Structure 1
Amino acid sequence: MNVINMVLLVMIVVAGIYMATNYTREVYKKKKGVLIKNHGTRKLQRKVNWEDWKDFFWRNPEQFAWITVILSFITLFGLAIGNIVGYIISFIFLVLLVLFLRWAKENYLNFPKIAKERLDKFNEEVRTAIKKQVTFEADNIQKFADKDSEFDTEPKVFEFPVDTKKMPAHPTYKVLKDIIIEQKLEFLVLSREYFSICQSAPTFKLFDHRVAGKLEHKKGGPGACNEFYYSQMANVQYDGKAIRIIYDGEREDAVFTCKPGDKATQPAIKALKEKLRLTERQKFHKMQEHLSYEEIKAKRIKSEKEDKDSA
């Protein structure tokens, strides 16, 4: 009878190991070819797979349930055998179960922190690249007056998160519900003489190593930006769906789509209207300068004519 129990125990352990291995293979089967192609070695592939599984174990809560059930079953089965071998096996798997539960709890609590760190790191790289792209480094005023409060040389960057996807959390796992797994940033950047609309930055994907780090950022860069000058601005309006910068003449208006609830919407509109007022004042000063020039020119012509008549 003891021999039969031992055989059954061995079969259960082997079946459990096989199920866990097969499950892991299925999870990363789709990534295998991509990772080998991108990184060139199976060693790095295994490292990435392990880090992904370790950091984001709770991306699939079902595996926690399966591992817990298997370890618990083997522990109870060892007790059911009723001999020293069974007790030893039961004790070993009980220790493994306790260690696994402690690790799973820590991993569960750290999941949001790790996800946020990766998102913040990725977004900061994109912000830096966008700011560098829209800044004209050869501008002498920009170069020598960056720290002078009298000059408005530092670009104002307004960012708008779009296409945000969050972790589809099971009701039992409420800590996971606010984790962002995909997000893209669009930018409205106000420089000294022009503003830029940047809507082609790469998308952050937490579970895709091709874009959740520097690889995609270096490959694709921050994306292209469209530049628009303030000099021909006529008005700034918001229609509930987009900021619309209206231009004089037949030039097409600049449109930046954003939601009313975005934190940056109202500050961006306010900053654009300030630029519009500044542009209008500059136009007015130029008109005044032109009128003064015309008056001086008229007086000079009149004076020269009087001098000729008197001569």
Structure 2
Amino acid sequence: MDIQLDKAPCGYFSISDSGIILTVNQTLLDMLLYERHELLGRHIESVMSVTNKLFFHTYFYPYIQMHGHVNEMYFSLRTNSQQDLPVLLNGIRQQRDGETVIDCVAVVMRKRIEHERDILHSKTKLEELYQATNEANHKLEALHEEYEVKQQELLRINLQLETMASTDPLTGLHNRRFFQVSLLALLLSFRETEKPFSLLIIDIDHFKRINDTFGHPAGDAVLVHLARLLESMASDTDIVARFGGEEFVVILPGTDEDTALLTAERYRSAIANSPCGEHNITVSIGASTVRRGDTDETLLHHADTALYASKSSGRNRVTHSNHLVPASD
């Protein structure tokens, strides 16, 4: 590593595709209070808390596998003295010397550190005030309440931001981003366990006609009605999301082809027999079941092709991609 990178004003490290630390610059070593030999060859999760390990698996790995890069992801690393160090993490996945590596840059969150110092300062003042005279007790209680309010507000804001990032605002279902992350996670699990899962794409038949005839508020009401119906029928492990427009997707973990068809038909029948006010809606469904070698793109493509077959065959029906006749040359 050249000296410019080693002394750069930000932390740098590279890891293998499996998470083993390959290189690390001196700046990051100073930030984490480690010697170089203490980190090289170790797994990156060795400098993370349990919470951040889960976050790394849930968001960082799937996102960088899908997009090849991660920009400004808020994260915390754990120093050698077991202190959390909040950073903004940027990463890129690329090939180098015939191997896949992930290069990352970590920038310390200065404002967050200042905020934490303010909180620690308030806590120190509390401890001092507790030892003061009875005259100062009311000040202690006020400061303690302020401290607790700030902590709860911080938790509330973080939860709100996380919910907004993964929720469709109209229907309240998971959004396309959450669906894509979940799909990638299941694909990674399938490659290790070969436990099957299936995907449904559900499209409202003649939805444009509803919007054009009755207006977009009526169309929105139909979308919300369908979302509630899908949500009520889904199992605890199913992942129901709005894919976009009048399309919805359902991931069925642990579901093979036959069970996927039965589940899709149950959805189709229930929707056809559950009018939304004056509107009797039907849906066309395309299904696919994961196979060896599938990616998120191929799995979606197979389900989308099956959906097109359902539409072309008259709508209000279910088609599995495995039942389609391959196109002749």
Same fold (TM over 0.5): no
Higher strand content, 1 or 2: 2
Q: Looking at both structures, which has the greater relative contact order when contacts are Cα pairs under 8 Å and sequence separation is at least 6?
A: 2
Could you tell me the TM-score, scaled by structure 2's length? Answer: 0.21
Specify the structure having the higher radius of gyration (Cα): 1
